[in-house]
Amino acid sequence: MESLKSKINLERLPKHVAIIMDGNGRWAKKHGKPRVFGHRNGVKSVREVTECAAELGIDYLTLYAFSTENWSRPQKEVEALMLLLVQTLHNEISTLNKNNIKLQAIGDLEKLPGKTRKALLSGIELTKDNTRMTLVLALNYSAKWEILEATKKVAENVKNGSLGLEDINEDVFSNALSTKNIPDPELLIRTSGETRLSNFLLWQLAYAEFYFTAEFWPDFKKESFYQAILDYQNRERRFGKTSEQLVT
Ligand code: FPP
């Protein structure tokens, strides 16, 4: 494992990695267990990948923990996931503090169950002064919802005269999103063999590199993360330019 890590160029790390953690249910089924067993083991991967990202020196790690669409899962599974979140937050806040990691959240947090919201807000408050890495949890998150909310904010400012129509630009819009002050992810990882974006960070991922792996999320550990970073570093990021322009 050390050899994979040693191949990583620490000068060319993505500042922000976003992950769609997928495949907990199928992993559990493969092991003949209920879906929640998969989610519990998914938390182990969350812990390991968070630690690994901080160790490498990545500034932001965003994890898609619960989408707005996930409410349509069986009620028992939703309840178990919300409880798991509360438990994980309670268990892990001291580790986050020990590792100097700040917790943040994006999504429609108002609609989360009271206990989950409370645990989340308390975690955010207790880690707010940490500086090594920011762990962003996307909870009850939907990119289309986020874009509509930002549009309403910008429109409101135009309506009340504090912003001119001609002053709307990418920066103004980015600052109206829940990810304001967070740089766009350079790398998106999705596990479990699915190759969809599933309503995740549609605006912010405009220039990101996508990395898909067949591994289910509970199997995605340090080595898998190093592999994803190495794959990213082997790509040429052109931002619309030609290869020749990049050399000069
Ligand atoms: C996707 O697998 C996973 C989720 C929707 C939930 C992810 C949640 C965790 C890993 C636990 C809590 C997280 C944190 C940050 C504390 P799936 O259920 O869609 O799997 P399937 O596609 O195989 O059914």
Please tell me if the CB atom of residue 222 comes closer than 6 angstroms to any atom of ligand 1: no
Q: Are 130 and 102 in contact (CB under 8 A)?
A: yes
Task: Give me the count of residues in the chain.
Answer: 248
Give CA torsion, residues 187, 189, 194, 197, to 10 deg. -50
Atom 1 of ligand 1 has which residue's CA nearest to it? 22
d(CA 187, CA 109): 25
Please tell me if the CB atom of residue 24 comes closer than 6 angstroms to any atom of ligand 1: yes
78 pLDDT tier (thresholds 50, 70, 90): very high
Please tell me if the CB atom of residue 25 comes closer than 6 angstroms to any atom of ligand 1: yes
Whether 171 is a known active-site residue: answer no
Which atom of ligand 1 is found nearest the CA of 77? 18
Q: Which of 9, 24, 59, 70 is catalytic?
A: 70
d(CA 7, CA 229): 10
Whether 100 is a known active-site residue: answer no
H-assigned helices in the chain: 2-6, 24-30, 35-56, 75-98, 114-126, 143-159, 170-174, 222-233, 243-247
**Where is 212: in which H helix or E strand?**
strand 209-212
Q: Which of 21, 33, 67, 120 to mutate to test the pocket of ligand 1 (most atoms within 8 A of CB)?
A: 21
d(CA 206, CA 185): 9
Q: What is the mean pLDDT of residues 115-124?
A: 97
Please tell me if the CB atom of residue 21 comes closer than 6 angstroms to any atom of ligand 1: yes
pLDDT score of 33 more than 70: yes
Q: What is the mean pLDDT of residues 167-177?
A: 98
pLDDT score of 182 more than 90: yes
The pLDDT > 70 percentage for the chain reads 98
Q: Which of 36, 39, 212 to mutate to test the pocket of ligand 1 (most atoms within 8 A of CB)?
A: 39
2-142+184-234 maps to which CATH number?
A: 3.40.1180.10
pLDDT score of 1 more than 60: no
Q: Residue 121 half-sphere exposure, CB side, CA atoms within 13 Å? A: 10
Coil, helix or strand for 109?
helix
Determine the distance separating the centroid of ligand 1 and the alpha carbon of 82, expressed in angstroms: 11
Determine the distance separating the centroid of ligand 1 and the alpha carbon of 36, expressed in angstroms: 9
> What pLDDT sits at residue 248?
56
Q: Are 85 and 65 in contact (CB under 8 A)?
A: yes
> What pLDDT sits at residue 241?
78
3-15: b (≥16 Cβ within 10 Å) or e: eebeebeeeebbe
d(CA 163, CA 86): 40
Distances (CA, A) of 81 to 66, 76, 148, 161: 9, 9, 27, 44
Atom 8 of ligand 1 has which residue's CA nearest to it? 65
d(CA 164, CA 28): 53
Which of these, 69, 142, 216, 27, lies nearest to 224 by C-alpha position?
A: 216
Please tell me if the CB atom of residue 140 comes closer than 6 angstroms to any atom of ligand 1: no
244 pLDDT tier (thresholds 50, 70, 90): confident
240 pLDDT tier (thresholds 50, 70, 90): confident
